[in-house]
Each structure stands twice: as structure tokens, then as C-alpha cells.
Amino acid sequence: MSEEAADSQASPGSASQDAVAADQAAASARPGDVLRVEHIAKRYGAVTALTDINLHLGRGEVLGLLGDNGAGKSTLMKILCGFQPADAGRIVLDGQEVTFRSVDHARSLGIDTVYQDLALVNQLSVYHNLFLNREVTRWPLLANGKMRKLARKYLDEMGINIPSVDADVAALSGGQRQAIAVARAVHSNAKILLLDEPLAAMGAKEAAIILDLVRDLKNKGQVSVIIIAHNYGQALEICDRVNLLQHGQITFDKRSSDTSVEELNEIVIAEYRRAAQERQRTA
């Protein structure tokens, strides 16, 4: 841990507050963490998307990853799900350093990403979507009856309320669809779920389905979750801990119970103010 602290002090963070927060992140890491991300950096040509990311995720923990547009949330997500490699730094999964070769590789190691509304096939039923590419078969045919029964069981276990597993997912609401996508990931033996803006464009009732689901997962403690979110209120509601991403660095790491929407807003507003001042100075 000591060398990490030294590294993060040498990091090119602009405000000293950044370096301090990174230190805090490193310091609060525990050996039981299911995932640790150390000094991840990523550049796209001349643009530095991530300068020095340090974060950790405890077993059964729900971590909120907050930040403005362009702060680097999606870049970090793409690295964590194996979509693209980082330029520097390391990812430690269950105490072992890993290099993701692809999304499939990351998934096989237990990191599964749930994209907003993207993963389901409208033309297929709920249970076929749940078992897509992991179908139960009685060769050469599908064991539809068995899948139907299992789907019902899984959904009931997870407290997801879908009237009929035979319904086409096209007929479901946004929250229900998202819930099915999460259920699919959980039952493909994911250890870590990355939820990309799970609540975007969702009404309160819809969001409640997902909030409940995540809370449920948390209580069972088998899955660790990273949620990317815009809405601080919703994030604090379900996350154990929140990290704030600014300019490619994590500048804030607190337990949800130790912070508030006001504090998070203030930090972001301060950033806007700083940016405005800088513009005036250079103009």
C-alpha cells in the first residue's frame, strides 16, 4: 500500500484535494476486496480521459460511480468490462492481477455489464431472454418447459414481478426489462455487476423496481455492484459508498451515510465555478 500512496502523490492531479482523495481510496482498500483498480490511465490521442484511477469494491458492496458528462465514467466502465484495455495501471480481481482480453473474457471471470435497455431481444419471451445463449436443451431441442419453470423460480427468488414469463419482452416496462437484464447477469454467475445508468430515463415507479432489486442483491451479499449514475439522490439511496469522478480522477470517496446530495452538489458546483474562472482568466 505504501508504494501506491507514493505513486498517487506523484500523479499529475491538478488540485491537491484530488491527490488526497486518491490516497484515501488506496488507504481504505481492504484485503477482502473483490476488485481493486490501481492507477488506471487512458488516453485517446491528445485527450486524456483517465489520469489516475484508484478504486476498490468490497464483497457484496454497492458502489456508486458518480460524475459529470465527460468525467471519464464511461471510459472507466469500458475498461472494467473488458471492452478496451487501459494504457497503464492494474486491475486486481479476487487478489489476482488480471488483464481482460475481451468483454467475453471479463464475463468469464465474473464481471458482467448490464446496459440500459440494450441487451434484450424484443421478439423473444421473457424466459428465452433470461436464458439467451445459456439455454437448457434436451438435444437437439430446447427444453422450454424446464426453462419456463426455472425462469419463474429465478424471478420469484429475486423478487422481480413479471406476470408471465411467456410474454414478449417488448410488452414489458423499462424497469421490468432492466430487471430481467440484471437477473440474467446474476444467473450467469456474475461476481461483479456493472450497471450502466440503470435508472436513466426511468420514472420513480420504474426506478423503484431496480432500486429494490439492487437492495435485494446487496442483502444476499453474493454479488458486488458498481452503479454508474447521474442522480445523486438515487445513488445515495442504494449505494453503500459513492465515488465521484472528475477530470479522469476519483476525487471523492465516502460512505453514503457520511455524505449528502448537498455535499456532492457543492463539489460539482465548485468545479463549474473553477472552470468558469479559468475561462475568464485565459480569455
Partner 1 sequence: MSETVQRAPGMTGGKPAGPAGRNGGLGGLGRAGRLLMRQREATVFLVVVLLVIYFGVINSTGRSTFFTRLDLVDLSQVAAPIMIIAYGEVLLLICGEIDLSVGFIYAFAPYVMHFFVAYDGLPGILAIIFAILLVGGGVGWINGFLTVTLRLPSFITTLGTGFILGGMILTMGHGEQANLDAQVQGIGKYLGTLGFAEVIWAVGLLVVFHLLLRNTRWGLHTIAVGGNITGAREAGINVARVKYGNFMITGVLGAFVGIQIAFQTQTIDPFSAGAAYQPMFYSVAAAVIGGTAMLGGSGTMIGAFLGAAVLAVLTNGFNVIGVSAYPLQIFFGGAILIAMIANVQFARLRGEGRAR
Question: Where does this chain bind partner 1 (CB under 8 A)?
Answer: 103-104, 107, 115, 118-124, 128, 132-133, 135, 137, 140-142, 144, 159-164, 166-168, 170-177, 184, 201-203, 205-206, 208-209, 212, 216
DSSP 181-242: HHHHHHHTT-SEEEEESTTTT--HHHHHHHHHHHHHHHHHTS-EEEEEES-HHHHHHH-SEE
How far is 194 from 210, CA to CA, in rounded Å?
A: 13
- Residue 26 C-beta: closest distance to partner 1, Å: 33
Question: Which CB atom, from 60 or from 115, has the smaller least distance to partner 1?
Answer: 115
Question: Which CB atom, from 73 or from 184, has the smaller least distance to partner 1?
Answer: 184
Cβ atoms within 10 A of the Cβ of 246, count?
A: 23
Round to the nearest angstrom and report the end-to-end CA distance of the chain.
43
- Residue 174 C-beta: closest distance to partner 1, Å: 4
Q: Report DSSP state, residue 95.
A: T
Backbone angles phi, psi at 74, to 5 degrees: -70, -30
- Residue 97 C-beta: closest distance to partner 1, Å: 24
- Residue 103 C-beta: closest distance to partner 1, Å: 8
Question: Which CB atom, from 20 or from 136, has the smaller least distance to partner 1?
Answer: 136
Question: Which CB atom, from 22 or from 202, has the smaller least distance to partner 1?
Answer: 202
- Residue 206 C-beta: closest distance to partner 1, Å: 5
Q: Count how many Cα atoms sit within 13 Å of the Cα of residue 106 in the half-sphere of its side chain.
A: 24
The CA–CA distances, whole Å, from 190 to 35, 155, 175, 238, 262 equal: 13, 16, 20, 19, 34
- Residue 168 C-beta: closest distance to partner 1, Å: 6
Question: Which CB atom, from 213 or from 236, has the smaller least distance to partner 1?
Answer: 213
How far is 51 from 60, CA to CA, in rounded Å?
A: 28
Question: Which CB atom, from 177 or from 241, has the smaller least distance to partner 1?
Answer: 177
